[in-house]
Amino acid sequence: MDIQNSAIDVKGLTVSYNNRLALEDISFSVDKGAYLGLVGPNGSGKSTLIKAMLGLKQSSSGEVFFLGQRRADFREWPRIGYLPQKISHFNPYFPATVREIVALGLLSRKMVSGAEDKAVEDALAMLDIDGIKDKLIGELSGGQLQRVLLARAIAGNPEILLLDEPTTALDPETRERFYATLEALNRDMKTTVVLVTHDIGTIGKYASQMLYLDKKVVFHGGFNDFCGSGDMKKYFGEYSQHVICHRHD
Ligand code: ADP
Ligand code: MG
């Protein structure tokens, strides 16, 4: 495995909750600039995997590398944007505005003055939330909050984006805009994308690599190999295979 060329390497990751295995010996790599669709049934460990990769959930064994460097050895983190699946835990009295929350996405970036404002304005515009930038985040609806946290995740021009079901609270129009933005980041900025989603049509449209998880790695490889594999039908059914694998571009 060529660590120099990968954005992410996960090696032998095992994670438990109260002695119950949630992930068993997970190993895979994601090439720089890839767009990985991370799929699997409910409870298969997708969210746990993302959290364990970031060190937000402790693993009992295994190692994670970002951009060729062992996470445990980081002196400075690379620019990684993360959107957690569960975002409902905001204290309604938390005294921060939308704009301030989005600006937090820039903390790991050293910018010249002025550039910072522009990065925040661009992210607000991209997610169509300029109109609410002075609102307190406790006042927002679920869909608005999801957009704010997505704006925060992309504002820092991340090298790697980890998105855990990012569009569940978005209306169809905003969802499409968001996916188009994500595609542009992946194509133009070479941002490596890891997208957890149940939206199988989206994966078919955008993903270059697939990881099918069910406590273990069931499938990991290129998108076309995934569509060609006999296992595919077993996990998704005949109809889904058509939806995922028939690219409409
Ligand atoms: P997915 O994101 O694929 O739906 P999760 O990573 O959320 O799966 O969960 C994987 C397994 O770990 C499930 O069996 C779930 O019940 C369990 N689990 C997740 N979070 C916790 C937690 N905080 N405490 C105990 N068990 C958990
Ligand atoms: Mg999940």
Q: What is the dihedral of CA 199, 147, 193, 62, to 10 degrees?
A: -90
Residue 211 tokens read as: 């990881």
Percent of the chain surpassing pLDDT 90: 46
Diameter of the chain measured on Cα atoms: 54
- Residues 120, 103: contact at Cβ < 8 Å? yes
Q: Which of 15, 38, 47, 218 to mutate to test the pocket of ligand 1 (most atoms within 8 A of CB)?
A: 47
pLDDT in tens, 226-249: 887 776 677 777 666 776 777 654
pLDDT at residue 144, as a whole number: 87
Q: How far apart are CA 72 and CA 65, in angstroms?
A: 8
pLDDT in tens, 89-106: 566 677 889 999 898 887
Q: Which of 202, 208, 115 is nearest to 157 (CA)?
A: 115
**What is the band of 112 on the pLDDT scale with cuts at 50, 70, 90?**
low
CA distances from 51 to 6, 94, 104, 122 (A): 19, 24, 19, 28
Whether 58 lines ligand 1, by a CB cut-off of 6 Å, is no
CB-count burial class (<10 Å; 0-12, 13-18, 19+) for 170? buried
By most ligand atoms within 8 Å of CB, the mutation choice from 48, 53, 218, 235 for ligand 1 is: 48
Q: Does any ligand 1 atom lie closer than 6 A to the CB of residue 162?
A: no
pLDDT score of 161: 95
| Cα 45 to averaged position of ligand 1 atoms, centre (Å) | 6
pLDDT of residue 133: 95
The predicted structure's pLDDT at residue 25: 98
CA–CA gap between residue 163 and residue 82 (Å, rounded) = 6
Strand partners, 136: 97
Q: Ramachandran region of residue 4, left (φ > 0), alpha (ψ -120 to 50) or beta? A: alpha
Residue of minimum CA distance from atom 12 in ligand 1? 22
| Nearest atom (ligand 1) to Cα of 48 | 6
Query: Binning pLDDT at 50, 70 and 90, where does residue 224 land?
Result: confident
Q: In this predicted structure, what is the pLDDT of residue 113?
A: 63
**pLDDT (tens digit, 9 = 90+) per residue, 115-142?**
778 889 988 988 889 999 999 988 888 8
Is ligand 1 within 6 A of the CB of residue 42? yes
Q: Which of 15, 17, 60 to mutate to test the pocket of ligand 1 (most atoms within 8 A of CB)?
A: 17
Q: Is there a contact between 197 and 209 (Cβ–Cβ < 8 Å)? A: no
How sure is the predictor about 111, in pLDDT bands with cuts at 50, 70 and 90?
A: low
Query: 41 in ligand 1 pocket by Cβ < 6 Å?
Result: no
